[in-house]
């Protein structure tokens, strides 16, 4: 054998030459498998009965499971029995060792994933996790959580966590969300990329989880509330919705002090003081409402990245000359005229549900007036009443 220092290293060979040779080599290797030529190991499977032949070197290169198996006394045998994997799934995973591809369907993904965990085929495990998440509407989130609990797969856990944070609102509305353990929920709440329209929405989800078993979950509530971005919530909401919860009084005091007394911040203990990376507060959104159309009011949103306006939605409304403000995730329509007559109606159009909700009316009918929001109070200025005054 030549001395090691005379052998050309792979890193010294041109990339293109190596890639071309590797591709040709892999095709030739698969041809040997496809023709069952020069195989040196046979696997005997019983469900159903099958004999699968392969090449030890290829399998040991593809999986630590096979590498350790062939180094063991059991692996010396020309025929090795496999009793914990179905023969059709095993054969698919052997093909993966040659091609890097696995045929995954809704019907077989659980069996493929479980077998890939046994055979330590990390790429197949990742492919199964991706397939489950991408097809979660067909696979059902309930089934995913059941599988997660059964196999305790770190890769699936991570992919499911990414799904939960990116689809938090739909996950929070599911029945399975109510059965989350406190540690799991806390990890989700701590995530800066948690995708929710506002921090109020995150709080409402936590409140729903807590109310499902208030007595049993009381001990976890303070830790969970501490994970909220409390500085993004207004004073009234903090005082009326959060301070009244068990153990949350001091947290709210710290949040209010942080917002209202910046000089005290160095002495305050607050887990999170910045908004989540995925959230945009209402005053950072830029919308335009076309009020000239008779019934369809076009809502346009400005894309900061692209520097362009695009039509976001059409709101059907039969009034004109109204005042409108943007508050939280709602348009508030105030007064206006209907059929030439001033009205005092006030209604809220919700961005998430795209539905109207009637609010308390103004004291007087007004149209062609101005409105503004100042310190959480709405003011209507000028305009005319039903007599044109």
Task: State the CATH number of the domain containing residue 194.
Answer: 1.25.40.420
Q: Distance from first CA to last CA of the chain, Å, rounded?
A: 106
Indicate whether 333 and 370 sit together in one domain. Answer: yes
pLDDT of residue 303: 61
**Residues 333, 349: Cα–Cα separation, whole Å:** 8
Indicate whether 228 and 202 sit together in one domain. Answer: yes
How far lies 206's CA from each of 97, 119, 172, 369, in Å?
45, 39, 8, 40
Indicate whether 273 and 297 sit together in one domain. Answer: no
Alpha helices in the chain (DSSP H): 15-34, 56-62, 64-71, 73-76, 87-99, 109-119, 122-134, 136-139, 141-151, 154-166, 168-172, 182-190, 199-212, 214-226, 235-237, 249-260
Domain contains 370 = yes
Alpha-carbon dihedral 291, 292, 296, 299, rounded to 10 degrees = -40
Quote the Cα angle for 132-135-141, to 5°.
70
Q: Which helix (H) or strand (E) segment is 52 a member of? A: strand 49-54
Alpha-carbon dihedral 183, 184, 190, 194, rounded to 10 degrees = -170
**Burial category of 32 from C-beta neighbours within 10 Å (exposed 0-12, middle 13-18, buried 19 and up):** middle
- Total domains in the chain come to 2
pLDDT of residue 282: 43
**Burial category of 343 from C-beta neighbours within 10 Å (exposed 0-12, middle 13-18, buried 19 and up):** buried
Taking Cα atoms as reference points, which of 321, 273, 317 lies closest to residue 298? 317
How far lies 219's CA from each of 203, 210, 222, 224, 355, in Å?
17, 10, 7, 10, 37
Cβ-contact 225, 217 below 8 angstroms: no
Query: Which structural domain, as residue segments, surrounds residue 318?
Result: 282-381
Cβ-contact 364, 374 below 8 angstroms: no
End residue of a domain, out of 279, 313, 342: 279
Indicate whether 296 and 375 sit together in one domain. Answer: yes
Indicate whether 187 and 269 sit together in one domain. Answer: yes
End residue of a domain, out of 250, 279, 308: 279
Instruction: State the pTM of this model.
Output: 0.65
Residue with tokens 């040659």: 98
Taking Cα atoms as reference points, which of 285, 255, 294, 289 lies closest to residue 272? 255
Query: Can you read off the two tokens belonging to residue 104?
Result: 């995954």
pLDDT of residue 281: 45
Which residue ranges of the chain lie beneath pLDDT 50?
Answer: 1-2, 281-284
Cβ-contact 344, 362 below 8 angstroms: yes
Q: What are the pLDDT digits (tens) for 327-370?
A: 777 888 899 888 888 999 999 887 766 788 889 999 889 989 89
End residue of a domain, out of 223, 246, 279: 279
pLDDT of residue 207: 97
Indicate whether 251 and 324 sit together in one domain. Answer: no
Cis ω for the linkage preceding 48 (within 30 of 0): yes
Q: What are the pLDDT digits (tens) for 254-269?
A: 999 998 888 888 888 8
Indicate whether 185 and 274 sit together in one domain. Answer: yes
Domain contains 85 = no
Domain contains 127 = no
**Residues 26, 20: Cα–Cα separation, whole Å:** 10
Q: Which helix (H) or strand (E) segment is 338 a member of? A: strand 337-338
Indicate whether 269 and 295 sit together in one domain. Answer: no
Taking only Cα atoms into account, the Rg of the chain, rounded to an integer number of angstroms, comes to 31
Query: Can you read off the two tokens belonging to residue 109?
Result: 């993904």
């Amino acid at each position: 054998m030549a001395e090691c220092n005379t052998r050309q290293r792979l890193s010294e060979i041109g990339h293109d030459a190596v890639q071309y040779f590797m591709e040709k080599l892999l095709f030739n290797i698969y041809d040997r498998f496809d023709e069952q030529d020069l195989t040196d190991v046979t696997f005997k499977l019983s469900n159903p009965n099958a004999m699968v032949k392969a090449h030890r070197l290829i399998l040991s290169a593809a999986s630590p499971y096979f590498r350790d198996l062939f180094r063991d006394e059991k692996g010396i045998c020309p025929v090795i029995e496999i009793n914990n994997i179905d023969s059709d799934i095993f054969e698919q995973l052997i093909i993966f060792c040659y091609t890097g591809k696995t045929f995954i369907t809704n019907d077989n993904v659980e069996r493929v994933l479980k077998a890939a965990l046994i055979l330590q085929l990390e790429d197949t495990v990742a492919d199964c996790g991706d397939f489950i998440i991408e097809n979660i509407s067909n696979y059902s989130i309930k089934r995913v959580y059941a599988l997660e609990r059964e196999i305790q797969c770190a890769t699936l856990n991570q992919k499911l966590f990414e799904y939960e944070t990116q689809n938090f609102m739909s996950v929070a509305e599911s029945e399975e969300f109510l059965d989350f353990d406190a540690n799991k929920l806390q990890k989700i709440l701590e995530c800066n990329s948690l995708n929710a329209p506002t921090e109020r929405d995150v709080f409402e989800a936590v409140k729903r989880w807590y109310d499902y078993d208030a007595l049993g979950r009381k001990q976890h509530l303070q830790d969970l509330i501490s994970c909220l971005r409390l500085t993004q919530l207004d004073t009234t909401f903090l005082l009326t919705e959060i301070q009244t919860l068990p153990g949350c009084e001091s947290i709210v005091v710290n949040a209010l002090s942080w917002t209202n007394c910046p000089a005290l911040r160095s002495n305050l203990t607050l887990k999170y003081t910045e908004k989540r990376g995925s959230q945009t507060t209402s005053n950072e959104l830029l919308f335009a409402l076309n009020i000239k159309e008779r019934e369809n009011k076009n809502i346009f949103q400005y894309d900061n990245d692209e520097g362009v306006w695009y039509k976001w939605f059409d709101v059907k409304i039969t009034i004109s000359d109204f005042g409108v403000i943007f508050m939280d995730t709602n348009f508030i329509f105030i007064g206006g005229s209907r059929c030439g007559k001033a009205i005092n109606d006030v209604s809220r159009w919700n961005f998430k549900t795209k539905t109207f909700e009637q609010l308390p009316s103004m004291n007087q009918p007004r149209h062609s007036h101005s409105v503004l929001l100042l310190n959480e109070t709405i003011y209507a200025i000028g305009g005319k009443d039903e007599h044109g005054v």
